[in-house]
Amino acid sequence: MIIIAMGYSGTGSSAIIHLLSEYRNCTDGDLGKFEHLPFYTPHGLFDLEDTLLYNNSLYRSDAAINDFYNAMKRLNDYDFGWFGGYEKRYGGKFMKIVDEFLSEIVQFKTTGYWSYDFELKKNIFSFGKDTLKKIIKKESKNFGKKFFPYGDNKLYYSFVEPEEFYSAAKKFVLNYFKMINPNEKHLLVDQIILPQHLDRIKNYFNDDVRFIVFDRDIRDIYILNKYIYPRMYNMDPVFPSEPNQFIKFYSKYRKTEKKVDCDNILRLNFEDLVYNYKDTVKEIENFLDFSEVDHINKYQYFIPEISKKNTQNFRIKEDWVRETEVIAEGLKDLVYPFPYEFTPNIQETTDP
């Protein structure tokens, strides 16, 4: 079984990976805190789908195929720690499955160039020619530069039918999972897709894949974004940090998701695992058809009392409580009903 966790950036999806790592025959492929980007990264698999099936034309398939290949090569060659680095981890296996996938969907190959293949470069001959033009007061639009084709001169065409594309894509997805987990254990995967991609799952995943979506109290999301993550990771806030702008932004962001009704999807809050641990674990076990006897390393990787320190962060300071009142009013549906008040220590705030 493949178990995919996902969330809305900072909503605690890694908690389910930690919890399920305590069960017999479950593995994350020894990847730890790792996010799998090949599907939804810019120019990744989903972008390739959108171009080839919904926005194709004579040359767009060539651009999309080259962009996809280059995006995969970047993830293969460069290890960013929490993503990428496939060459380092798996040798040539990742690019092998990329090449196999492309061999199925590329239908025609020719040689030549089109507008997408040209870039403007400095050129000594153009510089001399344009200097002469300047002397005789003749205009030169790109002084000292010349258009050159970059890369090879191969053109790749694909006008695949949907069933052809999805058949090849499913093989690519399956081979990706086999690369990570060759031992036939239950594979735990974090962020290989996002909630906004759940409407695509029937085209890419088999019926034995389960999806767990984690949400989180919106007041904590706001505080984490504005105050805590910048301190922890030396980074600027990802979301707008003015309360009313945050409400507008987050509301529009969540509307990008098309709600999908599917028995293979379970939706939880991060706080459920902390404040209602026993019942939530049972719900997860029922969803995955796991047995309690398989929970052989209970509290080894997910410890509710430690994760509790990463809840109700908006109560750390009185100013934060007041600041998030407007957040709670503007995004009521995303407020978690905490069973009691708890004030964490900012020095003990951790990742879920």
What is the C-alpha to C-alpha distance for residues 240 and 282, in angstroms, rounded to an integer? 37
Got the DSSP string for 141-161? TTTTEEEEE-S-SEEEE----
User: What backbone torsions phi and psi does residue 259 show, to the nearest 5 degrees?
Assistant: -65, 135
pLDDT per residue as tens digits for the range 70-93: 999 999 999 999 899 999 999 999
CA atoms within 13 A on the CB side of 196: 11
Q: What is the pLDDT at residue 128?
A: 47
What is the C-alpha to C-alpha distance for residues 3 and 274, in angstroms, rounded to an integer? 20
pLDDT per residue as tens digits for the range 223-254: 999 999 888 888 889 999 999 999 999 999 99
Mean pLDDT of 159-163: 98
Mean pLDDT of 203-210: 96
Indicate the pTM of the whole model.
0.87
DSSP tag of 57: -
Has residue 140 got a pLDDT over 90? no
Tell me the domain boundaries of the chain: 2-29+181-348, 113-152
Q: Is 312 helix (H, G, I), strand (E, B) or coil?
A: coil
Has residue 129 got a pLDDT over 60? no
Mean pLDDT of 122-129: 47
Mean pLDDT of 281-308: 97
CA distances from 263 to 212, 221, 286 (A): 11, 28, 12
Fold classification of 2-29+181-348 (topology level): Rossmann fold (3.40.50)
Has residue 349 got a pLDDT over 60? yes
- Strand partners for 154: 111
